Structure 1
Amino acid sequence: MKFADVILPLPLENSYTYRIPEDMEKAVTPGCRVIVHFGKKRYYTAIVMAVHDKEPLSSFETKDIYALLDASPVLRRPQLRFWKWISSYYLCKLGDVYKAALPSGLKLESETSVIYNEDYEADTPLRPNEQSVLDAFGGALKLTVSELEKKTGLRNVVPVVASLMSRGAVEVSEELKRGFVPKTRTFIRLVETFYDEEKLQEVFNELKRAKKQELLLVSFLDLSHTLNPVLRKELSKKELLERSGFTSNVLDGLLKRGVLECYEKEVGRLQISVCRLLPLLPLSAAQEKAYGDIHDVFKTKEVCLLHGVTSSGKTEVYIHLIDEVLKLGRQVLYLLPEIAITTQITERLAKLFGNRLLVYHSKFSDNERVEVWNKLLHGNEPMLVLGVRSSLFLPFKDLGLIIVDEEHENTYKQQDPAPRYHARNAAIVLAGMHGAKTLLGSATPSIDSYFNATTGKYGLVELSTRYGDVLMPEIIPVDIKELKRKKIMKDTLFSPLLVTKINDALAVGEQVILFQNRRGFAPMIECKSCGWVPHCVNCDVSLTYHKIHNRLVCHYCGYAIQLPPACPECKEADLRMMGFGTEKVEEEIATLFPVAKVERLDFDTARTRTAYERIISDFEQGKTQILIGTQMLSKGLDFGNVSVVGILNADSLMNFPDFRAHERAFQLMVQVSGRAGRRDKRGTVILQTSQPEHPIIRMVQHFAYKEMVGLQLSERSMFRYPPYYRLIVLVLRSRNESVLSEMSSMYAGKLRLHLGERVLGPVTPPVTRVQTLHIKKIILKIEIAAAIAPVREILETVYAEMMQYPAFKQLLVHYDVDPA
């Protein structure tokens, strides 16, 4: 008898053992998906980790595998190794990794269906809730629980369904949701009999009276080249009707006569159609040198950091390296921090690599992601995958190179839910498992990566001149504190210098980018009379005003209310806006420059893939003159006609309670500045700040990256921060604030017994409550040379001790390793 250890898509530590039925014994292999029964009435898609004949030592009955989904594995062996490393290093459950790794289309879960009993007659009056559930069926015999909740408006319909079940009014069945559905298209072909010329001629004779059918048949034969075995091609129904100009009624006539026939065929959703591939552009002398230096580094090191200033042409160097690896028959993963950038670079790569390019990110539908997965799993040709952090989990066969572009970006770090992995660090490990090389690229590398490169752990290659020898933009700090004191900037967000520069740019047909790292209209509303500020009911934050919907919104949990016409406390109507976001910038720009076409790029305007693409495409094509945005603008976008960049509030970037605040502020300001003057003209950056003499502002002005790194490293060494120490943050959350306070203090005390002064806290974060849960953090500072395994053992031991206290079970606990 054989057994299988399986992973479930649930936050569970261990694998679970199931019996393999005899008829499946030969077919079940590691990496296959199986349906298993877990809990009372739930079915899940599990991944087989191992097959063995060792019966589990358990008092519980071992269940049988319910069904096998795959004739061959959907995972490769290196993927399971990678999953285990993620789970071990980032201190999370293997089930969490599985849930993050597989596209939803490959995960089937049971969803409870409620079946209406048509023969049911009530012998006693029904309660209003019960009646509304029965009314919701409205002719349908079967609805899922979620559909019933939607139709009735009831928040929890399960007790009502249970009551109706006891009456015999409904029944419940567990049904598996359908996962990936292949996309099919209808094609048309000539019935085989009529390949004979005489028979075909007879058909034409019959069609003399049906002129339209005759002409459509001629069109079909002409477009499909059916009678020529060399040129013959498949023709879809849609293409035939579009190109012939006839209606489907005419086609139906030919189908009824049995001359033509329909057939369904699976077609891909991945549409990268390029007629003719373009040759690679030659590299400049500086790029050629960097390209050669990277090769030299890869002879002795697995990881290389390419430190290239903005607009130095790093992407062109990447393209030549990609081409080289593909020619060797190996795969390449090109990672980007933000979906927004993929839209711009996809076109560029498609023109060079055609259908060898695959794009993978969360704005794609489930079915599209499953197709990418299957293409990599079953295909043998070398492919280039362009994607965001989730692309690391794809079933690569033979990776030769991983490029992590804009490697400094904190969006490479997954925050919630688990696994809270850092894509840059995980990419280096994944590359090592495949015997591949990793290239990290940035104009402002993370201090961690730069430290590793300068201490010899990674190789370092520098590209210090812009492509075409264009000068770095001129950065002009403007003291807004002084301008406000002199009443020059009393009721405006823009300094006179910035307004002049925007006017000058628009007058000569150039474009402008305005950067404000806050969306919405105003971050805070305050009553002038009594000082009332609207707060979120679930989180310890003020609500942001979004003028377009006249709503106050929480950016942590999504809670929203209409803006009250008067203060609910003192009933005065004197509410004032505090601070400003991208919406307010857009409104003022429309007043100052009414003729200019303005667009906004932030989370509110670019929620969908098509919205992203349209905003970026319009700006690229010059349809938009002024683009206002949040940090989405800083992530490697390339616009050739931008001559002015305005950073509207530099102070908000620097004044943040985080040891990386100054590093981040420098990176953001330099990256945004790099959007100016990227072709043949020096750009201008107006940097509005109330602290023009601040060291970080001065460093940004002179692009003094190494000076910034030196200053930050000296501080971090003194206070035991990365890259000298590894941080592990224990995040504890509970609805009960006093229990949280007591348990977190006890937890930190127990950890100190094992780890001593490496333990800090518990500390209260700047936002003390999110989604109704109070938060405390315990911070561990571990020496960088220390192995993670002994630390994990200590954490598991202390956690097990804490679980002995009943009150501790009211807490939610997770680990954040290497927080961004």
Structure 2
Amino acid sequence: MSRFADVILPLPLRKYYTYRIPEDMETRLQAGSRVIVPFGRKKYYTAIVAFVHPYPPADYETKEILTLLDDTPVLRRPQLKFWEWIAEYYLCAIGDVYKAALPSGLKLESETVVSPNPDYIEDEDNRLKERERILLDGLSNYEKISVQDLEKETGLRNILPVIRSLLDKEAIYVSEKLKDGYRPRTENFVKLSFGRERKEELKEIFEKLSAAKKQLKLLMAYLDMSGFIRPGELKEVPRKALLKRAEVSPAVLSALQDKGIFVSYTREVSRFTFSDPVLGSYPLNEAQRQAFNAIITSFSEKDVTLLHGVTSSGKTEIYIHLIEEVVKKGRQVLYLVPEIALTTQLTSRLQRVFGNALAIYHSKFSDNERVEIWNNLLRDKGVKVILGVRSSVFLPFKDLGLVIVDEEHENTYKQQDPSPRYHARNAAIVLASMHGAKTLLGTATPSIETYYNARQGKYGLVELKIRYEEKDLPEIQVADTQELRRKKQMPGNFSPLLLKTASDALRQGEQVILFQNRRGFAPMVECKLCAWVPKCKNCDVSMTYHKRYHQLTCHYCGYTYELPRQCPACGHTSIEVRGFGTERIEEDVEQCFPEYKVARMDLDTTRTRKAYEQIIEDFEQKKTQILIGTQMVTKGLDFDNVSVVGILSADTMMNFPDFRAHERAFQLMAQVAGRSGRKGRKGTVILQTAQPDHPLIKQVLNHDYEGMYFTQIAEREQFSYPPFFRLVYIYLKHRDENLLDSLSRAYADRLRKLFGNRILGPDNPPVARIQTLYIRKIVLKIETRASMAKVREYLLLAQDEMLHDERFRSLILYYDVDPM
């Protein structure tokens, strides 16, 4: 009796596909293993086996699995269950979850490979063209070759049409070659050709080498590094380290190998080398100890607890003590942070306590590094603590005991594009519950939804209102930029108050952080004469000027071009930049404080992992005195010597057209203010705004989180926003704007028949065209008690009904659940 496997393909498909299992695989194939399967014409994919069963599908003929890639599964059963929940809740295909979850190194890539047909004879009536003949001649030297390599071999360009015509003439074959993306790291080691039981032979070897001083020196270095003649465990000696220690050339080692004294060998090694723990955790002070005990008590009653602790209250040390408790029980911990930059500072603190039991996981690591961490967890190689960003929720945990979500309010926990558009905080809570683990949410400025859940008793709530060593919260002073500009006392981007405060701090050897939540030199360029503004040709946005490259850049699609010397509309040369980004602030700071070193931390300067680490390390070591940054600098970084923080433009954050704008503005300003005065004297924050009397500014000045919360929660309830209602944004995209308008209205009308007045729109989003695609947005406001499974059923029903209109099939349609 045949057996079948339901597999997950890395494609946006709603369902599993069923394949027949070959007889020789029936006893070896398990759920969670990778297999190669055919799909469509001449396409091969790496699929994940979800279920094995004896039931053939009723509506299509099954194809056979081609290859089994794994002797043991690369996924655990709880992961598959978690993937299904992500797909169900966030209204996406499980194939999208697969693509996001598995490191690229575990997904085999398919390359088109061309083979000559040895039986092909040129037809008198259908002669080969010149390009076809050149390609066949180039192919004759190979049994198989990829299209890319064939282009190099023949020197021809754009050969796909030629391959197509040769296929039609049956002169060649096209197949698919599967290429494994993961390569384990290997290292060469050296050892003696005999064991310790024959160490008396060393005396004879010393005599033979007495005239070969360099060879003798190498042998002595090996004996010392390996501990061969000492009691205890014999240590492996890397070839490279041995040659460096002995200060000899590889030829010396080769001579000893030729004499049969040494042998070399190669083995797989880890890409991650941490030393053993050198210190335990620091003792907690009284306030921290009380919070720690309160969390333990809360966990006995609640699965999720919020730690609401003011900035610099020592939350990280509480996390470390909690992690220690869980690791002692042999269970695993996931420690989530919102920014890769934060892993840089936290790694040394955690490694001090947990050593090799710690692993770090984020997108700035190479594929090979991520695969290694994946395999270490899968094979239970001693990793107990994972420090990572949002994608870490997909790792193959065996026995998760605790999940910590640090800075839980951050919107970077939400995946935007591509699908799945999951929120890592919410997904982590579900993941923890699947493992019977506890979740701790930590922040100084909780998201309104989280704080509401804590006040309602759904989550536990622990508060830590005292800064570490009882330091005062920073003093916040307001600079009224509108009044200063009216009086012509602020010609640039810095108020006199900020300049004086920063100057005083720098003279005393202290450091300064300047926060501006826009990168680039200037967000807008304009012709003074005719008001022409350069727009992106692909998107409905103005271009941002980057002075360093002397070019305009679209931050949505990446389109760039040089800043024109004269206006394309009127021909005048009076083009000026307006507004300011981090790049312009950097230039202004260098002019105001030429004697101090400046660093900038934004997306443009932190493209690589090393760049993050270098900027933070230089600032920690006081090699740079002034740090300019976007919201990256607000997220939990701990710098001892910062006494002044400047918030350069509060107004752009407050006036953003979004129901979360006030909450986000408060969080950003409170968090960046918290970088000041963490050690030593009380810090100072200079907040520049044109609206000093705005209620939100007063709440920031008074560190009044609860005042902001009660204002916003009343508005949210009145207008049916989270946490009282759940939001689903439905996006429709098309290149034809008129067709998009017609179809989006028809779709919204169909949805209203199912959801009534819970449907709003369609409307234009703030940016209504990106990458040549026009966009319309429909909003679904659904009660929090409603079943997301039922919502999904209704949405897919409406989508399927719309497919009767052929034009609807050309639309791109996707859902964003719990949008940020």
User: TM > 0.5 between the two?
Assistant: yes
Structure 2 residue matching 1:196: 3-state secondary structure = helix
Maintained 8 Å contact 2:654/2:662: yes
Deviation string, structure 1 residues 23-53 (Cα, Å, up to 9, x no partner): 1111001111111111212221111111111
Structure 1: distance between partners of 2:336 and 2:148: 36
CA separation of 1:588/1:14 partners in 2, compared to 1, >3 Å: closer, same or farther?
A: same
Distance 1:132 1:548 in 2: 46
Quick one: distance in 2 between partners of 1:465 and 1:337?
Answer: 24
State the Cα distance separating 1:528 from its structure 2 match.
1.2
Contact 1:329/1:382 (<8 A) preserved: no
In structure 1, distance between residues paired with 2:480 and 2:573: 33
Partner of 1:16: 17
Report the residue type matching 1:538 in the other structure.
Answer: N
Alpha-carbon distance in structure 1 between the residues aligned to 2:622 and 2:104: 38
CA contact (8 A) 2:376 2:382 kept: no
Alpha-carbon distance in 1 for matches of 2:196, 2:457? 73
Equivalence for 2:130 = 126
Q: Which residue in the other structure is 2:193 paired with?
A: 191
Q: Distance in 2 between matches of 1:136 and 1:694?
A: 73
CA-CA distance at 1:567 after TM superposition: 1.3
Q: Which residue does the alignment assign to 2:479?
A: 478
Q: How many positions carry a matched residue from both structures?
A: 815
Structure 2 gap ranges (5+): none
Whole-angstrom distance in 1 between the partners of 2:616 and 2:145: 42
Answer yes or no: is the 8 Å Cα contact 2:5–2:50 preserved in 1.
yes
| One-letter amino acid matched to 2:181 | G
Instruction: Report what 2:678 is aligned to.
Output: 678
SS in 2 for 1:548: helix
The 1:776/1:145 distance shift into structure 2, 3 A limit, reads farther
| C-alpha distance in 1 between matches for 2:141 and 2:623 | 51
| Contact kept in structure 1, 2:326 and 2:333, CA below 8 Å | yes
Report the CA distance shift for 1:556/1:147 in structure 2 as closer, same or farther (over 3 A).
Answer: farther
Match of 2:29 in 1: 28
Give the letter aligned to residue 679 of structure 1.
K
Q: SS of the counterpart of 1:439?
A: strand
Alpha-carbon separation, structure 2, partners of 1:697 and 1:193: 74
Give the aligned CA root-mean-square deviation in angstroms.
2.4
CA contact (8 A) 2:356 2:383 kept: no
Which shifted more, 565-574 or 532-541? 565-574
Partner of 2:291: 290
Residue of structure 1 in register with 2:418 after alignment: 417
Query: Secondary structure of 1:70's partner?
Result: coil
Do 2:107 and 2:180's aligned partners in 1 also have CA atoms closer than 8 Å?
Answer: no
Q: Kindly tell me: are residues 776 and 148 of structure 1, through their superposed partners in 2, closer, same or farther at Cα, counting changes over 3 Å?
A: farther
Counterparts of residues 395-434 of structure 1 (less than 5 Å): 395-434=396-435
Equivalent residue number for residue 344 of structure 2: 343
Unaligned runs of 5+ in 1: none
* Cα displacement (A) at 1:267: 0.3
Q: Could you tell me which amino acid in structure 2 is paired with residue 243 of structure 1? A: R
Cα distance in 1 for partners of 2:523, 2:155 equals: 32
| Residues 156-188 of structure 1: CA deviation (Å, up to 9, x unaligned) | 653243245567887543111222111110011
Amino acid at match of 1:627: L
Range moving further from structure 2, 166-175 or 712-721: 166-175
Equivalent-residue separation in structure 2 for 1:500 and 1:747 (angstroms):
58
The amino acid across from 2:192 in the alignment is L
What is the correspondence of 1:674-753 to structure 2 with a 5 Å cutoff? 674-753=674-753
Secondary structure in structure 2 of the residue aligned to 1:445: coil
Comparing 706-715 with 379-388, which one deviates more in the overlay?
A: 379-388
Q: Deviations over 1:593-640 (max 9, x none)?
A: 111100000000011000000000100111110000000011110001
Q: Residue type matched to 2:363 in 1?
A: S
Aligned equivalents of 2:155 and 2:403: distance in 1? 48
Aligned twin of 2:592: 592
Distance, in Å, in 1 between the alignment partners of 2:460 and 2:196 is: 67
Residues 780, 198 of structure 1: alpha-carbon distance in 2 compared, 3 angstrom cutoff: closer
Change in CA separation of 1:226 and 1:414 when aligned onto 2, cut-off 3 Å: same
The question of whether the paired residues in 2 share the 8 Å contact of 1:357 and 1:383 is answered with yes
Rate the CA distance shift 1:157–1:788 in 2: closer, same or farther, 3 A. farther
SS of the residue 1:297 aligns to: helix
Q: Which residue pairs with 2:222 in the alignment? A: 220
5 Å matches for 1:449-468?
A: 449-468=450-469
Shift of 1:192: 2.7
Q: Which stretch shifts more, 164-173 or 46-55? A: 164-173
Counterparts of 1:663 and 1:651, CA distance in 2: 13
Distance 2:578 2:368 in 1: 44
Check 1:689–1:215 CA distance in 2 against 1; reply closer, same or farther (3 A cut).
same
Task: Please report how far the alpha carbon of residue 199 of structure 1 lies from its aligned counterpart in structure 2 after TM superposition.
Answer: 4.7
Hey, what does 1:566 align to over in structure 2? 566
Indicate the larger mover: 443-452 or 221-230. Answer: 221-230
Quote the residue 1:161 is aligned against.
Answer: 163
The answer as to whether partners of 2:116 and 2:140 remain within 8 angstroms in 1 is: no
Amino acid of the structure 1 residue aligned with 2:214:
K
Equivalent position SS for 2:300: helix
> Is this contact kept in 2: 1:468–1:680, CA < 8 A?
no
Aligned match of 1:496: 496
Report Cα offsets for 1:769-791 as digits up to 9, x if no partner: 01111000110100111111111
Per-residue Cα deviation, 1:334-388 (whole angstroms, up to 9, x for no partner): 0001101111111111011111111101001111111111111111646011001
Work out which of the residue numbers 239, 246, 249 in structure 1 matches 2:248. Answer: 246
Amino acid at match of 2:687: L
CA–CA separation in structure 1 for the residues paired with 2:223 and 2:797: 75
Amino acid at match of 2:622: G
Deviation at 1:135? 12
Is 2:6–2:49's contact at 8 Å kept on the other side of the alignment?
yes
Q: Distance in 1 between matches of 2:721 and 2:308?
A: 23
Measured after TM superposition, the shift of residue 149 of structure 1 is: 8.2
Q: What amino acid sits opposite 1:461 in the alignment?
A: V
Partner of 2:528: 528
Deviation at 1:798, TM superposition (A): 0.6
What does residue 646 of structure 1 align with?
A: 646
Matched, 1:363 2:364: yes
| Residue aligning to 1:577 | 577
Aligned CA distance change for structure 1 residues 313 and 102 (closer, same or farther; 3 Å): same
Work out the CA distance in 1 between the residues paired with 2:354 and 2:134: 57
CA contact (8 A) 1:329 1:381 kept: no
